Structure 1
């Protein structure tokens, strides 16, 4: 796991000091080694930088940037099947000087060109400079586990693992994108390919970007899309066949991710996803796996005792830590530095803590993210199904939704006395206005609705298209559940869950690996009937059946908790001070970004104990903390 950065400068104003500064700010992603490439061609300056966290071949042979003939590579990630690819290349006459996957990728590109990406099983964000073809190629892995940002404006192209690299280049213009801000207020994250800055984008998962050095043009292409597999006809297999093949793929994916020349551990929450990963691995080895869990003293949020029971049953070497009120306060000021784009998922706090806990003993830790999106684990899927069953056949459904949206919940007797009724009512009414179930998913996951965002932001902005609208062709072979999981894979999982885990683990130089996001698993499970994932009100049916082969059902069957965080309990007093400071009328008016009265209304509603959604106040606070740090 590493950090990469680079530039192409057609104005020839960027020097070696620029690439060094852009790279060194990513030291946390790779403290073991750093390397730089700087070259001035006739019409362009090119810089490439790399920070290395040594996982495979700990010697200097893994140093990057790495060259082979006319090619130069910088690479962040791990390709787990690199030994098989290396064997294939050796049969074709290629020789190798290192035991690293970097050299395998580089020579695979030399052999097969960009088509080599279809052979890679792993997580990666990489750049390859081809001096012969006069082009730079960027690639991002299928699921988007590894981040890659790029910026182009006024003859300058920048790219990096994190936005903080761009701030190190003197020509980067950090102009706030109000369109991106609107997305953040809706979802608590900014969906790909959009970002918080103008002229700046995320390279989409499963995409390549080719930049011609002599022509200054850009060609972004998709090489993989999860929707392509959901759009295929469903497989005609029995439940037993599905169980066998899914367990085979899960086992292979988990074992692949244990390959390392450094200690490896597992994040264990005690839920089905992490328990399945731990069980599949521990059952096949005699040495004890190192497992790590975070608990809370607030019982409604605590899963640590469940994780401990699983660890004891499987016989792992288990470490747990209880997140305290003070831990949260200590991490809070660090959030804008770790997440250098506004990010509103409050479970960032325990994720940082569990990463720091694991890093004391291991350099790599497996995480079980993706289980909910792949196997159907969220309550929102059941909620959407109920909404569909109630209102799906209502004539003029969209108009019906707009009518309900126009009614103020406070005017409805009895029900309006529930402090959370207003929020639930608005979400249900807005869901009816959705043109498709995929759009309904975006509404269900919103903190601020579009109309509320329009009231909040003082500057003109447009509502950008996201993958919540990418449902074309899904209906032919999918029911509601499969459609929701497909879109979730491209939205919430990609730009919330994976961003959270990548930045948290990398903040303490820990490599996080995601076995449930092995592309072979989703390509297979996407083509299974949804009844194998959600059966009645039972979520993750298939994964549970596999897990119960290793862990007693009575130990595992309990209400789903998720990785919730007791913000209200932690910050009932301290958050008040933060809010009054960051969301003061004077400060907001000086920035001119928000309609001050609307923000104060949200703030005071929270302070007076009448909040209907704590996410709203959290998103506003997180943004203002980010703005103070980076703007």
Structure 2
């Protein structure tokens, strides 16, 4: 795990610029750092830098930037190639010589052997920059599911890239200009969907893509996608439940085994829920010693899962670490959020995730998590709810018919009715049902900014892959919510503690298997995550894990109501809003009044989102 940054441009820049860029992400890699600056033909200049968190081969031989033996290939890289030893064995047979035991060196010679097609060999999480001196080509590569982040800024001939936005903001020719469409996305989602970022001309490289920069031009190629890998279950032969469970067991066990390869201590997050309990079970299965498990407990019962995790850990025999904190401890992190989340991000579960990462770091450098189980195997309550909404489709048709005569919808919007009533107007198709929250939000808060709210067309494109409304929603979550919320949250939270988080469910083999599994193995007779539960019951008694799903959260809205002056500061004063020139003051003032007077419970989430943006704005703009 590391942080990387660099540039390729025609402007001559001092070495100190690259150094300053790299230092902004020092917490991502405190063990080592490296730099490469070179003037090239046609007045181009390249700079590559890396901050290293040593995981595999802790010796100086793992230093980056790393060069091929003939120094024509240079790599800086963030992440892990879990199957690097198998690839290395193939390359050794082909006559390649290795001086280290790092996966970085395997990337170099895999590229020399297979060119950019080498990425199809890699099983891992990665953001890679490869500079090929022979061709003056720079490749930027992101892993299939987007576990590792990779940003880039492109303006005419200049390209600047980094693991986070902070290094790019240090680039002297970078121009900070708010992307209003991205801001509108953030206000609704609480995160910004790739390829967009909060700045114009600045992008997230999409999961499963690589970018080629050559002669001042860029081209992007999608080498893997959920769309291509999703199978039509109607043409699949039914294998039988036991066969599906056994095959998934084998795949997940191997995925966990690969992710436990490390030269530093490894542990796992354990909440006591289905996903983390299954990963911890498989970790203990493949380990000859008790695995270290970590749970954060809160003194307030409504937010505490530690009791459940303790029972699972005791049954498995893990070396369990349980730390109890008052929920208010998470409150201390709020003002630090813009430092580690340098693009606006308002999923408040980032706070406890930062805390549990800090606790785990006291004992290990790598921790496995159960993230992505919900998106792949139908775990969220919204997948239940969407079936209920579909029953209201005919009712939505009649309401919209009435609305053509009487402006009923507009009346409800202006009267601050609960959003669920407004939502009833937006249930006239599967696509509208899935995105009904967005459509309702768009109706109710369309005047916060002067720019229109636009839902990405790609949301709808992927919905055509299935006739099953639950599958449609899951597919949409896989390309939006998972990479841009869940994986972003975990990457920044774990890195804030200099901890590497690994996600066994996102082994591409597991993902592809899940995408081609009959849906009734995931959702059966109202049971969500059916196959994961049946697999877990092979190892753990049902009574240890059968319980209602709890979110990993904190009472953020209560905190805001209790101490709005502290968190709101002067962010919503007329002068501040007008000087920003981003928001419509009348709408903001209306929202603040509704929030303070507790007139409309729907504004609590929006209020937190606005505060997070204003904190970010205060820090960087």
Common topology (TM > 0.5) = yes
Contact 1:150 1:157 (C-alpha < 8 Å) held by counterparts: yes
Q: Show the counterpart of 1:373.
A: 375
**Alpha-carbon distance in 2 for matches of 1:89, 1:127:** 21
2:229 paired with 1:229: yes
**Alpha-carbon distance in 1 for matches of 2:181, 2:413:** 31
Q: Measure how far apart 1:618 and its partner are.
A: 0.5
Unaligned runs of 5+ in 1: none
Change (3 A) 1:193 1:310: same
Aligned length: 614
Q: Show the counterpart of 1:457.
A: 449
2:533 paired with 1:544: yes
Q: Show the counterpart of 1:96.
A: 98
**Alpha-carbon distance in 2 for matches of 1:204, 1:277:** 27
Q: Measure how far apart 1:299 and its partner are.
A: 2.0
**Alpha-carbon distance in 2 for matches of 1:392, 1:116:** 51
Q: Measure how far apart 1:448 and its partner are.
A: 7.3
Q: Measure how far apart 1:487 and its partner are.
A: 1.3
2:606 paired with 1:616: yes
The partner residue of 1:406 within 404, 409, 419 is 409
1:363-384: per-residue Cα shift (whole Å, max 9, x none)?
0011110000011000111111
2:603 paired with 1:604: no
Q: Show the counterpart of 1:35.
A: 34
Q: Show the counterpart of 1:595.
A: 584
The partner residue of 1:422 within 418, 425, 433 is 418
**Range moving further from structure 2, 221-230 or 293-302:** 293-302
Q: Measure how far apart 1:320 and its partner are.
A: 2.1
Q: Show the counterpart of 1:263.
A: 265
**Alpha-carbon distance in 2 for matches of 1:560, 1:425:** 26
Q: Measure how far apart 1:566 and its partner are.
A: 1.4
Q: Show the counterpart of 1:83.
A: 85
**Range moving further from structure 2, 249-258 or 13-22:** 13-22
Unaligned runs of 5+ in 2: none
Written as runs of structure 1 = structure 2, the 5 A alignment for 1:343-362 is 343-362=345-364
**Range moving further from structure 2, 499-508 or 588-597:** 588-597
Change (3 A) 1:178 1:88: same
Contact 1:185 1:448 (C-alpha < 8 Å) held by counterparts: no
Contact 2:140 2:210 (C-alpha < 8 Å) held by counterparts: yes
**Alpha-carbon distance in 2 for matches of 1:278, 1:227:** 30
**Alpha-carbon distance in 1 for matches of 2:110, 2:422:** 53
Change (3 A) 1:218 1:440: farther
**Alpha-carbon distance in 2 for matches of 1:139, 1:292:** 32
**Range moving further from structure 2, 365-374 or 588-597:** 588-597
**Alpha-carbon distance in 2 for matches of 1:400, 1:152:** 49
Change (3 A) 1:148 1:376: same
Change (3 A) 1:54 1:466: farther
**Alpha-carbon distance in 2 for matches of 1:180, 1:325:** 32
Q: Aligned with 1:581: secondary structure?
A: coil
**Alpha-carbon distance in 2 for matches of 1:400, 1:5:** 56
**Alpha-carbon distance in 2 for matches of 1:289, 1:523:** 28
1:437-463: per-residue Cα shift (whole Å, max 9, x none)?
3x543444x4971234430013x4562
1:423-477: per-residue Cα shift (whole Å, max 9, x none)?
22223433x25x543x543444x4971234430013x4562625422326403xx
2:125 paired with 1:126: no
**Alpha-carbon distance in 1 for matches of 2:486, 2:408:** 30
**Alpha-carbon distance in 1 for matches of 2:175, 2:569:** 30
Q: Measure how far apart 1:9 and its partner are.
A: 1.0
Q: Aligned with 2:127: secondary structure?
A: strand
Contact 1:30 1:51 (C-alpha < 8 Å) held by counterparts: yes
Contact 2:81 2:125 (C-alpha < 8 Å) held by counterparts: yes
**Alpha-carbon distance in 1 for matches of 2:537, 2:485:** 29
Written as runs of structure 1 = structure 2, the 5 A alignment for 1:3-402 is 3-10=3-10, 12-43=11-42, 44-68=44-68, 69=70, 70-212=72-214, 214=215, 216-233=216-233, 235-236=236-237, 237-391=239-393
2:577 paired with 1:578: no
CA RMSD of aligned residues (A): 2.2
What TM-score, normalized to structure 2?
0.94
**Alpha-carbon distance in 1 for matches of 2:597, 2:247:** 54
Contact 1:230 1:482 (C-alpha < 8 Å) held by counterparts: no
**Range moving further from structure 2, 576-585 or 159-168:** 576-585
Q: Aligned with 1:456: secondary structure?
A: coil
Q: Measure how far apart 1:328 and its partner are.
A: 2.4
Contact 2:29 2:52 (C-alpha < 8 Å) held by counterparts: yes
Q: Measure how far apart 1:283 and its partner are.
A: 2.8
Contact 1:125 1:140 (C-alpha < 8 Å) held by counterparts: yes
The partner residue of 2:548 within 556, 559, 562 is 559
Q: Show the counterpart of 1:468.
A: 459
Q: Measure how far apart 1:281 and its partner are.
A: 1.4
